[in-house]
Structure 1
């Protein structure tokens, strides 16, 4: 089965801030995250470097053909690094550019990213809710950016705040720009009240849902994440199996589980059909992001088998 990861992250070093608080790489995979020491990546990443090469090794081991690399403000803007990643590994990665939406002029920045070859723009919209106030996604500059993206065929990758908090803004964007391709992340913040309203956005023709972070959201029940399977099944009932894509949220999620476990629970469940699994795990993302010529990494037996 061809498997594509629709939500992952890469960075060389975390050295940024969000909402006035620091995020900085420490050691042994840990980071200062908003004033708290956390295990940001697995402890074997002792220098905190979350590189494309380590990810490819994980992808090959788990037989994942390709990955979409999104961005997050808590990692710092990674445009320069990701542009190089896609140049070096064009058949393995589809990367998203990201702008500084906290300052005027980001629409011009988005145009420069598009001119430099980025085929998607990321908005971590849940991070637009600051202590100092909320940045709306339907401001004139935002809407102008979406218009340019629609015209040029650029994908919008967006993570929304809990439940239906930002669904109204998204509906306005979709209505104004019906041909803008949109991928909504974190599976609608499933486990929060009103998450189904985010899923229902995929009833619009160019909107998809991806499951990056779903194992984090169901971390309390752990593998085999039966609640996550039930949520996927419910979402198929809401929007259809052809509107959903698997995403891992690598590498943060693999502090608790292996990379393969982040999709293995879908493969092994009896609650989904083989066709639903194939669509969710790869076929939908292959079509939506335009991957071509993908190969399935060969299986290598574990020494312990």
Structure 2
């Protein structure tokens, strides 16, 4: 394993990668897992006037690149299927393999290798759902509709703070700051897969409220972010919304809930002036 940190070995591996290849490895490290379709949308976008006029053309190119990276040991398939609209090779799920991970760590001067553990079906579905939110925002930015000022994934988006009983870490799924010409919006994103009982979700809401009361985030950016709960369906949204409203200790202006297919619209809706999680952009 020591040759992985040898500068000559690192240079040899780097010579096998294009700039786009390197960005693919970075995204797999950042999101932990992505499907071929998600990678295609990030790195091989299909636009009428772009380099890839159709989705099938873009997908074929994405497949060729991913198979080459797999052959060199940079990435590997996760041998688990996750439900969704994609089928065939587009539904293949990828993660960073040993060579890819060692290379990225060597480039940052990090000697330790992380041990890979095959994720559970539940964990993988949640991971891909969180990535889907981020990718939808990136596509929105590519269309020129918004600017993404920050997009932090786990664990970069976590917030440690001193709670009533000691140190607490608020573990959101994503933290984003998006903007248009007039306003920027700060949002913590939680992707709920209906795998936890509602009392556990409400306890997480209380953690957000406790963190809000510390004033730490407000000192950092002058506003406290909105918290967007993204649920799998309308029934879960209804139940979660009702539970939050029924809790007198939770402020009604802090939490928003929506179904997964409305997540992008919900995020964009924060880009309106006045409420607590928005800041007006200076001209």
| TM-score over 0.5 for the pair | no
**Higher relative helix content:** 2
The structure, 1 or 2, with the larger RCO (C-alpha pairs under 8 Å, 6+ apart) is 1
**Under TM normalisation by the shorter chain, which class is it?**
0.3 to 0.5
